[in-house]
Amino acid sequence: MRTGLLGGSFNPPHHGHLAMARAAQAALGLDRVVLIPAARPPHKPLSPDMASPHDRLQMTRALAAAGGPGLEVSAIELERLGPSYTIDTIQELRRLHPGDELYFIIGADTVGELPTWREAARLLGEVRFVVVNRPGFDLEAGLAVVADRLGAAAAARMREHVVTMPPQAVSSTEVRRRIREDAPGWRDLVPPGVADVIQAERLYGRSFVTTFTTIDRLAEHAGQRVELRGWLYKQRGKGKITFLHLRDGTGVVQTIVNREQVGEQVYERLKGLMQESALKMRGTPRKDERAPGGVELDVDDLEVVAPAAGEYPISLQEHGIDFLLSKRHLWLRSSKQHAVLRVRNEVIKAIRDFFYEKRFLLVDAPIFTPSACEGTTNLFEVKYFDEFAYLTQSGQLYMEAAAMAHGNVYCFGPTFRAERSKTRRHLTEFWMVEPEMAWAGLDDVMDLAEEFLEAVVGRALERCKEDLKVLERDVAPLERVRRPFPRITYDEAVKLLHDKGHAFEYGNDLGAPDETAISENFDRPVMIHRWPQQVKAFYARRDPQNDALALAVDVIAPEGVGEVIGGGERAVDLAFLEQQIAEHKLPKEAFEWYLDLRRYGSVPHGGFGLGLERTVAWICGREHVREAIPFPRTIYRKDP
């Protein structure tokens, strides 16, 4: 069978397409011409007045019907994802119709573009081209480009089948222009069946946009037709109307599906459709103040892409936390988890922007470490080829090396603690950001810590309003996270505890209840500085005014959240550190490199570490840090 192929956007199809098909058909005695609407024309950007694939298919079918026998339509390109390349189409058609002789019909004005098509040379070998020319058009210019890029033989092949037809006073652009501008006579340019589709679907009008959009931007498209892609969150039907909640990763929207609008057949498919089925929906967003997000979608077309294979394991009822964690890959889809991870995303970006703008150099600390930073307990051991390595607990010592090299630096990556304790504050794998500054003292560290926290919390408040609403977070306590933070000494903190009647022994570290009791006295984070040296790490600098104290600081967040930042000034004196390493019975050899930093240009320096998950949990008002990380790891859980 001699088959002509005519591809294009068909946006919309018009009399010109018909004329072209017929001219080729007559000249070459073709048995049929197949019209092939392109899903995404590779040489045209997606434009706001590109009708949806569904509409273009409908219109092209109407065009073929108007053209009579010998005209067919293929959805072969529409069914493929991504851009449509002619070479792919040709190959598939050859496979589907091995006996056909294929003739690919193109306009003369397109010939010069051919060398830019995908695998153009190969394409010329696989199919005969029919060039439809019009009197007076300079076809030779286009053929010269082909000859130049693909060789003289290619140009010669193109010249084999040239058909000339009278110029057409119609183009898709012109049709759209007339419709958009309410210009008369647009109906004259297309067959009546095509005009019917345009009218029924209200295509190309002033408010016409057929575009894929996302739920968070739906309100911007109020009154315009759009397509949404997402998953069924819940539905409730009521006779002819079904309310269907769709989620797409940017939000959830209520859509209204009316049986009369979408047709009996589509409407029936909704029955029994289970949660998390994948859908494409088309329709018109309508502002409604009562709706969440202020907008609803009136659906006029709907496609079930993948029905859920069974009942969704996480239904809307309550589940135990162990069950939810075992289904974390699905639990992520729920609105609150979604909101928490969006806040996490924003907090991380705020942290990185903060340091980038302050010109702190990001120096990633290694995960594999040969030795422990703060003692050998709680370390994860890894078989490292024929030896053992340990997963990092903190990048700080490496940041000290980096600060001596680059001034102000930070690292931000996962850290690990093999803690057997199962509390709401602990994960075995968590992210920590650790800035370190050369030429800085304890006060500089505190200055940085308060500026940093204010910036990060402020950014989340500014850009995560909707997410914090979903989480029902009272933002008033967060709005008070403004500089200056109160700064009290450890001694003062202990006195405060004693004044409140707390039993607390001077010299101990603060426990969670102690931190909570202290933080209750302040309306914002409080910085506790100058700690008994024995509760802080060996590398902490001693207070020159009191050798029993370390120049360290903890920042305690309010609302019972507890420590979110720990840091301080580091010892600069070589002899002091050597003595510390001996007293703590640490292997000196493993710290030789660290001691080098005191041998070659030791300068005052300091920094801090902030636990990301605690910070995110605090901002989100979640009690447990495990919700603040996508895939939490605890003593009892390392999957999925």
Scan residues 413-432 and list those touching its own copies (CB under 8 A). Answer: 413-414, 416, 418, 420, 428-429, 431
Q: Which segment (46-54, 128-136, 185-193, 623-631) binds its own copies by CB under 8 A?
A: 623-631
Place of tokens 């979110």: 564
x/- string (CB under 8 A) for its own copies, residues 304-333?
-xx-xxx-xx-------------x-xx-xx
Q: Which residues of 153-190 are buried (b: 16+ CB within 10 A; e: fewer)?
A: ebbebbbebbbebeebebebeebbebbeeeeeebbebb
Angle between helices 574-583 and 592-599 (to 10 degrees): 160
In 3D space, the residue among 624, 604, 606 whose CA is nearest the CA of residue 614 turns out to be 624
Residue 115 interacts with its own copies (CB under 8 A)?
no
Residue 587 interacts with its own copies (CB under 8 A)?
no
Mapping DSSP to helix (H, G, I), strand (E, B) and coil, where does residue 564 land?
strand
Chain mean position to CA 171: 39
| Lookup: tokens for 150 | 């693909």
Residue 621 interacts with its own copies (CB under 8 A)?
no
Residue 245 interacts with its own copies (CB under 8 A)?
no
Q: How far is the CB of 199 from its own copies (least distance, A)?
A: 30
Among 363, 453, 456, 527, binds its own copies (CB under 8 A): 363
Scan residues 472-511 and list those touching its own copies (CB under 8 A). Answer: 487, 492
Report the C-alpha gap between 45 and 491 in whole angstroms: 67
Given a contact cutoff of 8 angstroms between Cβ atoms, the answer to whether 193 and 206 are in contact is: no
Scan residues 510-569 and list those touching its own copies (CB under 8 A). Answer: 544-545, 569
Report the C-alpha gap between 324 and 600 in whole angstroms: 53
Q: Based on CB atoms, which residue is closest to its own copies, 138 or 364?
A: 364
Q: Based on CB atoms, which residue is closest to its own copies, 21 or 540?
A: 540
Residue 286 interacts with its own copies (CB under 8 A)?
no
Residue 45 interacts with its own copies (CB under 8 A)?
no
Q: Which segment (203-211, 245-253, 286-294, 472-480) binds its own copies by CB under 8 A?
A: 245-253
* DSSP string over 395-440: SHHHHHHHHHHHSEEEEEEEEE-------TT--SEEEEEEEEEET-
Scan residues 167-206 and list those touching its own copies (CB under 8 A). Answer: none
Given a contact cutoff of 8 angstroms between Cβ atoms, the answer to whether 435 and 398 are in contact is: no
Given a contact cutoff of 8 angstroms between Cβ atoms, the answer to whether 574 and 598 are in contact is: yes
Q: How far is the CB of 228 from its own copies (least distance, A)?
A: 11
Amino acid at 164: T
| Lookup: tokens for 634 | 């605890």
Give every CB contact of residue 496 below 8 A, 6+ residues apart in sequence.
488, 517, 518, 521
Q: Which segment (236-244, 273-281, 467-475, 614-622) binds its own copies by CB under 8 A?
A: 273-281
x/- string (CB under 8 A) for its own copies, residues 225-244?
----x-xx------------
Residue 22 interacts with its own copies (CB under 8 A)?
no
Residue 112 interacts with its own copies (CB under 8 A)?
no
x/- string (CB under 8 A) for its own copies, residues 365-394?
xxxxxxx--------xxxxxx-x-x-x---
Q: How many residues bind its own copies (CB under 8 A)?
A: 116
Q: How far is the CB of 607 from its own copies (least distance, A)?
A: 14
Residue 271 interacts with its own copies (CB under 8 A)?
no
Amino acid at 504: F
Q: Based on CB atoms, which residue is closest to its own copies, 2 or 624?
A: 624
In 3D space, the residue among 420, 418, 431, 412 whose CA is nearest the CA of residue 374 turns out to be 418
* DSSP string over 192-254: HHHHHHHHHTTTTSTT---EE--GGGGGGGTTS-EEEEEEEEEEEEETTEEEEEEE-SS-EEE
Mapping DSSP to helix (H, G, I), strand (E, B) and coil, where does residue 421 land?
coil
| Lookup: tokens for 123 | 């394409």
x/- string (CB under 8 A) for its own copies, residues 68-107?
------------xxxx----x--xx--x------------
Bridge partners for 315 per DSSP: none
Q: Based on CB atoms, which residue is closest to its own copies, 51 or 228?
A: 228
Residue 638 interacts with its own copies (CB under 8 A)?
yes
Place of tokens 């294929």: 102
Among 407, 458, 532, 621, binds its own copies (CB under 8 A): 407
Q: How far is the CB of 562 from its own copies (least distance, A)?
A: 23
Q: Which segment (133-141, 285-293, 553-561, 624-632) binds its own copies by CB under 8 A?
A: 624-632
Residue 443 interacts with its own copies (CB under 8 A)?
yes
Mapping DSSP to helix (H, G, I), strand (E, B) and coil, where does residue 480 land?
coil
Q: How far is the CB of 343 from its own copies (least distance, A)?
A: 11
Given a contact cutoff of 8 angstroms between Cβ atoms, the answer to whether 43 and 86 are in contact is: no
Q: How far is the CB of 167 from its own copies (least distance, A)?
A: 33
Q: Based on CB atoms, which residue is closest to its own copies, 199 or 421?
A: 421
Q: Which segment (16-24, 343-351, 451-459, 519-527) binds its own copies by CB under 8 A?
A: 343-351
Task: Based on DSSP, count helices (H) and strands (E) in the chain, helices before strands.
Answer: 22, 24
Report the C-alpha gap between 631 and 635 in whole angstroms: 13
Q: How far is the CB of 189 from its own copies (least distance, A)?
A: 32
Mapping DSSP to helix (H, G, I), strand (E, B) and coil, where does residue 256 land?
strand
Give every CB contact of residue 508 below 8 A, 6+ residues apart in sequence.
535
Residue 594 interacts with its own copies (CB under 8 A)?
yes
Residue 358 interacts with its own copies (CB under 8 A)?
no
